[in-house]
Structure 1
């Protein structure tokens, strides 16, 4: 048991019920997804309509896009979904970086696809198909190799394609990556007996506008045209409408899109209760260490970011244990269970942390985090003004002239983009229209008068 496990054991848990990492492609995480029944039907219906396609999942940060996808992937891969084909899950996502070129993305997709196949075989304790092993070896060794590409299927067998001498993976062309992914998809279908495979591109909005358009145009009749591959594009809110407005020809090739909205407060509470019961040492006596009032306060202040709620609930619990341990030190008491539980009881009511103490912890935690950004006085005043206006666009720079803002470009570059990158502003996009509003920590900073 590590130190963090010991800390949660003090609160009666085997592990933190507020883990901020996305749900995994595993059976035990399926029950932790709450309030997504209608979206699940939309997703399953789309992949049930064809043997290949492109599906966009978008939403504000922390809304649970990856968690939603991973649960659907598990249900389809295990054939536990109410309907839909059996599809190999993408356990390794292809992360998109700014200025990525098509061949770099294709290479990363190939690497993530191979990792997903390898992990599935490991979980199922079956041999990795020989062709997949050869591709994995070529990737890892990063040196020339002779590989068959151009497979096809006739009757009940695979017709081996032509033998090609490839350079190292770093020197391979985009077209060759496409051919190899085609071959892998055939192997997955014929040898692993799946109807298809998922390949997931994450954070697609990281690409600059022109790079995004160029990549999608390149992918339209190449990667996106591979049989038995479902491409999932994950991005921020408004990605689908942005692509539709800037690249309609590519958008026409997309199968469907889903904009995930924040779940309801009621479903948030249910999700927390599920996690508390799952990780508590005693399921019959499991109770949440944080009150509903605090959950709701965090949820509403963060525009429905589940990740934000869990992050600060986790921090409050850690802060409580830290405070009790410091109290033991100051009183020169032994660090044993009896003394710990006695002092812990001073902050608990019916095994729940007092709201007053939670608020005290929140203020201290968020004040330290906010001050860590070392914002200038003008940046703080810009945030304060945005809070007063509720929501703004770049063209609203006129409201900030008294702070020395003289143009829309300077306002965007010097303030909006920077503060958004620091997760202090929430950036929303609908087609080409971009709005900004205070996000999570800035909402609290405004409430705590840290923007004065």
Structure 2
């Protein structure tokens, strides 16, 4: 487990996301929390950090006024395979939950409940079609490797029954609340980008009224692609694109399943020839947001980032049409900005032209401002409009990072407004 001072460093650029996720833990007694983003954005590390706060229940200077439920963290995140099905997912979830409870008891010098011990014994002795399951090592410092596939023939009947497994999960959640005096427990499913959308949608839908409805269980689903690029613009009450490209979404299972179904219906991708988005899907997102340009552009930003990162070639005619649409949206927005906010447009053009990564008040001369205060005012206005991300670097000092439309504008540097 990281030292507290190391954990504090993880707050840099993450204040809003940490606060938002903890608010989920404060206002709900369980539910589904998808978290997505591009590779290297620290999704799993971020989840581990928030779980550390759930363990200690301590507040920090960054979280003043935020109260949240203490919960048993997930010490054994797991992955699912396309051929698992709902029963296998539940077996993995139950194993992960029991291992997390066992680790939690060790951490506080308590005896592991006999019910948990019995379930772990049955789970580790169960042979599931000859397939071995490995659950990842514990981030909390205890070994959390569990293997299916031992030679034991004493498998219990409940291990092959979806509703019986969900019932066991519910019982352990109740045990956590009653005996361990915690608000609940966390189950983490990681790397869901390995799954087909149809499978993930089908699995979540199958579990929506059983395991996913258990009081006191927070299911955190971590992945990239659809989770990072589609959740944010897909539901109006999601908060949009946040610092460092990390997405934290508060969705009902029905909303999540509906969004995946939309993606499955329109997402026609050939890894060699296509962008990670179709024109139909982009149009659908625009319509779903009731014509919200900003939300649509958040979506396009994510797709462009994926495209630039992957360098997929050759570019098809559909790709070119999609890029033209994206460019038109950028031009429209930048044109409106130039008309209505000329002093901000001047600054935007400068930022894009010199490809600056971040701005501080000390850069005022570089951008033609007479004083630091004048630049601070301009930066504040841009931050309010979502064009800059405000990140606290030190006490009383802020760093501003280009965001949203600026990032897209950099990609289309040849558009007229930025020449």
Report the structure number with the largest CA radius of gyration.
1
Larger RCO of the pair (alpha carbons < 8 Å, separation 6+):
1
